[in-house]
Structure 1
């Protein structure tokens, strides 16, 4: 993983749109069914919108019918941080970018999806950017870990 990105909240506010800031920095959620990558079926890499870190590959994306893009695994375990989230009267596992600590979404386990991990990384589209495969540059660090 590339070196950490640390910025003052004022910098994040200047660099991100109000909607991006709400999700990435305030742990908000975009409305279900509205994200630009919900139905994206192109091959490529999903990156953190705030810092550009490579997080998910299209090969791990699946249609969970939950209203947000779903992945069964991040590119590598060190790409995301998992935190207990007790907001909204429930216990969930929050997913954050390891590089810049931006909120991405939540991960759920044991829902019975036919995936190799039985996990559903439910990620806000607005927290991501997408690079089609022909444009994505190789990530040599993840190749070494594989």
Structure 2
């Protein structure tokens, strides 16, 4: 296995996002690897034929990306202390747009990531039916190992 220098972690700003980011920081810290937090805003232009949006779609996309960038900066700032304590030499954050799974995979290739650490749950209900399981797609097609974390599992009683 190649040396792990860059860990990519997709973030969805859900209630579990901080736990996933802290877990990714722990893993990255063990390897002395950079941690890249990424948020992917779903590209709704692909669905514009299904409905008539009440607002101009390009303006909505621009506003969404600006809001996501601000939220990502705040989220990354809240993770810096934990990442530094875990031994992460650099924490970077990025906002992307497009198909969520594809953008995660493309970003990991672009930065030559050696590992992806991500949660197993994000979308639920109708959204999951429409968009599918992002984690499943990433695991099946990623260019590097993928460590998945189920945020709903109780501690399995590992070593103290």
Q: TM above 0.5, one fold?
A: no
TM-score after normalising by structure 1: 0.23
Asked which structure has the greater CA Rg, the reply is 2
Would you tell me which structure has more strand in proportion to its own residues? 1
Greater fraction helix: 2
